[in-house]
Structure 1
Amino acid sequence: MTPASLPPKKKWSLAKKILLAFGSLALGAGLLLYLNFNKLISSALNKSFESSLISEVYTLKFENLRLNPLQGDISVFNVSFEPKKSADYPYINSYVTLHTESLILKNVDVRHLLESHELMLDRISIKKPRVEMDVNGSNPILFPFKPSKASEEAGKKRTLDSYFLKEFELIDASFHVINSVKKRDFTIENFSVSLLDLLIDQREGEDLISLKNMDISLEKFSGNLTEGPLKHAKFLDFRLMFDSVNLHKNLDTLIFRFRDVQAGIDSLDIHTRDSTFHLQMQRFSLGYLDRSILLKGLSFKPNKTNAEVQKNYRFQTAHFSGTVASLAMLGVDFDSLMYADKVFIEEVVLDSVSAAVYKDNTKPKDLQRFPDYLGQSIAKIENPLRIKSVKATQINLTNEEKKPDGTTAKIHISNGTAEIKNITNLAPEEELHVQAKAYLAERVETTLSLRFSYLKPEFVFDGRLATFDLTHLNPIIKAYSPAEIRNGTADEVTFSGLATKASATGTLKFLYHDLEVDLQLKEQAQWKSSLVTFGANTVLISKNPISDTAPERSVRFTAERDMNKGFVNIIIKSILDGMKETMIMSKENRKEFNQLKRETRREAKKEAREEKGKN
């Protein structure tokens, strides 16, 4: 295409040129005004902060600011909020430091900010800040309540006064908290907070805070504790929600009220300070309005062997370990717990409980330790307590002891259920009820009922062992004596008694047949047992009753309590003493039994005469 054939160029009219010039000028002026306006906003924000008492203790810095004039949003970049090295407020004992790449202030009243240097807005959003807190007091005080003399002379009299914020968001923050008072160091990752309708009313000497809703969550928590029973703790996915919160705080008092709270923790992991025990929990959840607490996957186990753990004890001391699949507390009175330190719970339900008990009996007994019965242990609890019912299912218990001769004895209790009613220290005239059922040595079905007095150290007990092969008791008998049952069947074992502070008395009926006992007489001279003594087969009767016409042997027993052991030991001693009395009667029981035999014979002769007379 030749230049001659090109279309003629359009010439700009004078009006278009003037319009373009004015447009360019307006754009440049607008840009200049925008940049200058941002500087004005930055200056107003700084003046708003510097006019407050907080500026006497903290510094606020930011590198850049951007305003969205259409929406009234202000974005502040590279923000730092740090404590000053010195401040004339000696009652402030704790400090907070914050660094974040961006901070967004939404729906700001820009005109009011420029005219009065007061920040009025609807929302604050902070994403991925780094926060550090240094706590140096049991009641942390981070900000000043009233101006010091120097602040008054400088004209800095204004605190927050009354302030309303529609929404506050802290998203994916990282926290590092050092508590110098309690010697603790915490690290928190991906911490988020959401506050709705926050109202702060700061008066001289006190803060009044209310909000409609507060949601707190964090992805990971880990902490080290220098003092106290714990050494290290961590957990995942913490969740906390408050509804309708009102808070009143002054120098020495904090009053906290709310309509509802829900909380949850996953994967709790705690180590004791001496690294001996390890506590784990898969999940924890709490519901205030539901009045419930739920724990799942509980585990409490030693990090060391039983022998190593026992090195921590000078005297014979049982240590425990175990797991619980779930533990639910229902009908929890949270208000009484928080405001009056009272524990009121309707029901506690445990499922799949496995526990192990270990004790080294080669150690000396603590002769100054006298365990209380359950009634007195509960009565001594300082805080008011009432738990109406505790139910446990699928209970498995292993009791292991290192005997004085160095050998080990084990007893297994499996597939058990238990219900405890009326756990309280508020009604001494009432009784604590315990009902349990389990399998002894994994085969012998056993039921037990206990009623503990709160007024005095005593309890009533009764129980029953269902029909079983007597050889199933060998693991228990051989653990504590040089005897072994070769053959025999227990048709019925029932017992009842009263245990007082120092002894127990009661009755026991032990019906059996085809009993054969092997007693290792060579070892008998070295054997001393406080539980039971078996005689030789020439002394023992092989069945009870001894014939179809003979009466059943039902005996009275008396067992002396080992004052350095608890209630379980006196029950075992009572049962074994009653079984021994059945097989080898004492003088008193023999006298009663002989009288019963004479009465039985008279009755038999009478019935025979009556039968003969009929014929």
Structure 2
Amino acid sequence: MNLEANSAKKKWSKTKKIVVTLGFLIVAAGVLVYLNFNKLVSAALNQSFQSSLMSEVYDLKFENLRVNPIQGTIAVYNVSFEPKENSEYPYLNSFIRLHTKSLTLENVDISLLLESHELALDKISINTPEIELDVNGSNPILFPFKPTKASEDAGKKRSLDAYFLHEFELVDASFHVINSVKNRDFTIENFSISLRDLLINQDEGQDVISLKNIYISLAKFTGNLTEGPLKHAKFMDFRLMFDSVNVLKNLDTLIFQFRDMQAGIDSLDVHTKDSLFHLQMDVFKLGYLDQSILLKGLSFKPNKTNAEVQKNYSFQQANFSGTVASLSILGINFDSLMYEDKIFIDEVLLDSVATGIYKDNTKPKDLSQFPEYLGQTIAKIETPLWIKSLKVTNVELTNEEKRPDGTTAIVTISKGTAEVKNITNLAPNGELELSARAYLAGTVETILTLKFSYAKPQFSFTGSLSPFDLPQLNPIIQAYSPAKITKGTVDNISFSGLAANTTASGTLKFLYHGLEVDLQLKDQAKWKSSLVTFGANTALISQNPISENSPERTVRFTAERDMNKGFVNLVIKSILNGMKETMIMSKENRKEFNQLKKETRKEAKREAKKENETN
């Protein structure tokens, strides 16, 4: 039995050897065929590229290639795509370089590639490449449009007559852009592109491109700008999506159309070229179909102190800084903006605005500067503009001024709201309306409405201040005058007026009682030149009306405009001049008031006579 078992075992071993030998031969033959097939595909890819016009400008190299003929997948390794040193196409002004460890082509028609050297496939995937783009023209041209005579004789043709790609993915690329035209240098980290259904047609002298959608993202962007107002910029998490894109591009024209676009940026950080200012933004979102833009966490602040910034100016110049919690722009007509250079917006909303203004009044005024009213400033904007409404809520404003004597005056406005309607340069006979409500010195509620003419330099204004204790206004009064209110209560302040280019006039009602003013008249010249001149060496009227039987004093006021200052200064002067006229009447106002008193007495006598007759 053992002999039989050993004999059977020996027979099986021979069979096994034959099978193993045949298997080895088959595998070896398969490997040889596979390697040869890879070489054939590699040669076909090279020949496909060399037969294109692009090979006249760029070199394509790769070290290894693997083919899965069943799935139609080609994996290419250690790929480089670089411009040649010399080119016969002088109109090319920009170049691209690409290096990647792997590039995958999916669903390739391998038989077509081998037979005709034409590359037809569904998807291209490039993972973690290194890309450099050198831009040397305002309209970058990277690839030739048509062959030179020598290229045409050699059988070269345009890069593509027509080409369709179902899907393209570039993942986590490092991107370096050098713009020689504008002297800019950008570095991008983790740059990714995903696009679907790309169709390219090349006609004589132009490219026609369409795609279903494209999504672009990057983790971090940093850029240095030699020219222009900005010096350095960086942001994080950029997102950009286009849907249904059509592009027409030739030597001097680029037409870009799409159905929808969405964009977003986080953590924007920009420094101006002079290093004076620093702009930051937490969130930016744009929606084309939504017709909206949203910005959150905005801040605009100087990198230096106000005193250091002021060293850059020879004349009085206001420094601005501030933060905005959110800015929403709604109802934007993007088509008018992109294709017609017109700005049409339904509504702009700003919330939680904190603004600081600093001015050094020890410097001389620039007498050559004449600020215009808002109507004329907007009317002069060249781009057609129409913003239906602008609303601002939760405003905090701090105005700080260094006075000629070196001391500092600070005025605060809090809990402010404002709405501006009809911001446009398309209605020359219309008006811009500004309505605002805020608290002066944190306690005095103030309401103000201004209407600016677009046709001529003038505006009307109306407003009121709610009841308050007059000493609460001391921070504002002492900022502009040597006066101090020690006692008194305001029952009502209401006013209206019309401001022309050089003067303003109107009426004001200032009702108050228990007024006591400390006039610090150590410097008469300073007193006479101050904005608030409550009177000197003249008895102030301590209340209005003087008694229960006396009429209220409603006065007319005039104010001369400081032509080197804007409309806000003129409104303040008008109100303060009206208050002064109430307490120390001019001849004209006194005459009108005396006439009013006579009429009031006559009316009182008539009423008393009627009452006696009735009794």
Which TM-score tier does this pair reach, normalised by the shorter chain? over 0.9
Residues in 1 aligned to 2:153 and 2:70: alpha-carbon distance in whole angstroms: 40
Corresponding position of 2:330: 330
Residues in 2 aligned to 1:15 and 1:383: alpha-carbon distance in whole angstroms: 91
1:142 equivalent in alignment to 2:142: yes
Corresponding position of 1:588: 588
Residue 535 to residue 3, structure 1, CA distance change in 2 (3 Å): farther
- Residue 480 of structure 1: how far off its partner (Å): 1.4
Q: After the TM superposition, which residues 215-614 of structure 1 pair with which residues of structure 2 at under 5 Å, given as runs?
A: 215-536=215-536, 539-614=539-614
C-alpha contact 1:182 1:227 (8 A) present in aligned 2: yes
Per-residue CA distance 1:230-249 (angstroms, 9 max, x = gap): 00000000000000000000
- Residue 576 of structure 1: how far off its partner (Å): 0.4
Residue type of the partner of 1:370? Answer: F
C-alpha contact 1:516 1:537 (8 A) present in aligned 2: no
Residues in 2 aligned to 1:218 and 1:528: alpha-carbon distance in whole angstroms: 63
- Residue 535 of structure 1: how far off its partner (Å): 2.2
Residue type of the partner of 2:52? Answer: S
- Residue 363 of structure 1: how far off its partner (Å): 1.2
Deviates more, 1:398-407 or 1:123-132: 398-407
Residue 4 to residue 16, structure 1, CA distance change in 2 (3 Å): closer
- Residue 204 of structure 1: how far off its partner (Å): 1.8
Residues in 2 aligned to 1:156 and 1:277: alpha-carbon distance in whole angstroms: 54
- Residue 402 of structure 1: how far off its partner (Å): 1.1
Residue type of the partner of 1:176? Answer: H
Corresponding position of 1:118: 118
- Residue 610 of structure 1: how far off its partner (Å): 2.0
Residue type of the partner of 1:613? Answer: E
Q: Secondary structure at the match of 1:11?
A: helix
Q: Secondary structure at the match of 1:47?
A: helix
Per-residue CA distance 1:280-299 (angstroms, 9 max, x = gap): 00000000111100000000
- Residue 18 of structure 1: how far off its partner (Å): 4.7
Q: Secondary structure at the match of 1:70?
A: coil
- Residue 255 of structure 1: how far off its partner (Å): 0.3
Residue type of the partner of 2:263? Answer: A
C-alpha contact 2:480 2:530 (8 A) present in aligned 1: no
Residues in 2 aligned to 1:321 and 1:163: alpha-carbon distance in whole angstroms: 53
Q: Secondary structure at the match of 2:182?
A: coil
1:49 equivalent in alignment to 2:25: no
Corresponding position of 2:77: 77
C-alpha contact 2:144 2:158 (8 A) present in aligned 1: no
Per-residue CA distance 1:353-388 (angstroms, 9 max, x = gap): 111111111111111111110000000000000000
Residues in 2 aligned to 1:369 and 1:496: alpha-carbon distance in whole angstroms: 28
C-alpha contact 2:369 2:564 (8 A) present in aligned 1: yes
Residues in 2 aligned to 1:369 and 1:185: alpha-carbon distance in whole angstroms: 38
Residues in 2 aligned to 1:522 and 1:364: alpha-carbon distance in whole angstroms: 24
Residues in 2 aligned to 1:298 and 1:526: alpha-carbon distance in whole angstroms: 41
C-alpha contact 2:333 2:345 (8 A) present in aligned 1: yes
Residues in 2 aligned to 1:158 and 1:247: alpha-carbon distance in whole angstroms: 18
Residue type of the partner of 1:382? Answer: E
Residues in 2 aligned to 1:57 and 1:214: alpha-carbon distance in whole angstroms: 27
Q: After the TM superposition, which residues 145-156 of structure 1 pair with which residues of structure 2 at under 5 Å, given as runs?
A: 145-156=145-156
Residue type of the partner of 1:180? Answer: S
Unaligned runs of 5+ in 2: none
Number of equivalent positions: 614
Corresponding position of 1:32: 32
Residue type of the partner of 1:34? Answer: Y
Residue type of the partner of 1:124? Answer: I
Residue type of the partner of 1:484? Answer: K
Deviates more, 1:521-530 or 1:153-162: 521-530
Residue type of the partner of 2:311? Answer: K
Q: Secondary structure at the match of 2:88?
A: coil
Q: Secondary structure at the match of 1:582?
A: helix
| Identical aligned residues as a percent | 73
Residues in 2 aligned to 1:92 and 1:591: alpha-carbon distance in whole angstroms: 84
Per-residue CA distance 1:107-155 (angstroms, 9 max, x = gap): 1000000011111100000000000011000000000000012212222
C-alpha contact 2:145 2:158 (8 A) present in aligned 1: no
Residue type of the partner of 2:172? Answer: D
C-alpha contact 1:482 1:524 (8 A) present in aligned 2: no
Residues in 1 aligned to 2:548 and 2:205: alpha-carbon distance in whole angstroms: 90
Residue 13 to residue 609, structure 1, CA distance change in 2 (3 Å): closer
- Residue 7 of structure 1: how far off its partner (Å): 9.0
Residues in 2 aligned to 1:509 and 1:7: alpha-carbon distance in whole angstroms: 130
Residues in 1 aligned to 2:518 and 2:3: alpha-carbon distance in whole angstroms: 130
C-alpha contact 2:521 2:527 (8 A) present in aligned 1: no
Deviates more, 1:495-504 or 1:22-31: 22-31
- Residue 13 of structure 1: how far off its partner (Å): 7.8
- Residue 8 of structure 1: how far off its partner (Å): 6.3
Deviates more, 1:490-499 or 1:603-612: 603-612
Residues in 1 aligned to 2:151 and 2:491: alpha-carbon distance in whole angstroms: 91
Corresponding position of 1:9: 9
Residues in 2 aligned to 1:355 and 1:408: alpha-carbon distance in whole angstroms: 18
Corresponding position of 2:172: 172
Residues in 2 aligned to 1:93 and 1:541: alpha-carbon distance in whole angstroms: 80
Residues in 2 aligned to 1:528 and 1:75: alpha-carbon distance in whole angstroms: 87
Deviates more, 1:106-115 or 1:311-320: 311-320
Q: Secondary structure at the match of 1:33?
A: helix
C-alpha contact 1:193 1:217 (8 A) present in aligned 2: yes
- Residue 210 of structure 1: how far off its partner (Å): 0.2
C-alpha contact 1:131 1:173 (8 A) present in aligned 2: yes
Residues in 1 aligned to 2:151 and 2:111: alpha-carbon distance in whole angstroms: 27
Residues in 2 aligned to 1:37 and 1:558: alpha-carbon distance in whole angstroms: 96
- Residue 312 of structure 1: how far off its partner (Å): 1.5
- Residue 5 of structure 1: how far off its partner (Å): 10
Residue type of the partner of 1:520? Answer: Q
Unaligned runs of 5+ in 1: none
Residues in 2 aligned to 1:394 and 1:310: alpha-carbon distance in whole angstroms: 29
- Residue 529 of structure 1: how far off its partner (Å): 2.8
Q: Secondary structure at the match of 2:187?
A: strand
Corresponding position of 2:61: 61
Residue type of the partner of 1:312? Answer: N
- Residue 528 of structure 1: how far off its partner (Å): 4.3
C-alpha contact 2:527 2:533 (8 A) present in aligned 1: no
Q: Secondary structure at the match of 1:245?
A: strand
Q: Secondary structure at the match of 2:181?
A: coil
Residue 405 to residue 3, structure 1, CA distance change in 2 (3 Å): farther
C-alpha contact 2:510 2:553 (8 A) present in aligned 1: yes
- RMSD over aligned CA atoms reads 1.6
C-alpha contact 1:517 1:537 (8 A) present in aligned 2: no
C-alpha contact 1:518 1:537 (8 A) present in aligned 2: no
C-alpha contact 1:480 1:529 (8 A) present in aligned 2: no
**TM-score, structure 2 as length reference:** 0.98
Residues in 2 aligned to 1:599 and 1:54: alpha-carbon distance in whole angstroms: 97
Residue type of the partner of 2:579? Answer: M
Residues in 2 aligned to 1:244 and 1:421: alpha-carbon distance in whole angstroms: 36
Residues in 2 aligned to 1:314 and 1:426: alpha-carbon distance in whole angstroms: 37
Residue 325 to residue 18, structure 1, CA distance change in 2 (3 Å): same
Residues in 2 aligned to 1:243 and 1:485: alpha-carbon distance in whole angstroms: 66
Per-residue CA distance 1:406-430 (angstroms, 9 max, x = gap): 1111110100000110001011111
Residue 548 to residue 134, structure 1, CA distance change in 2 (3 Å): same
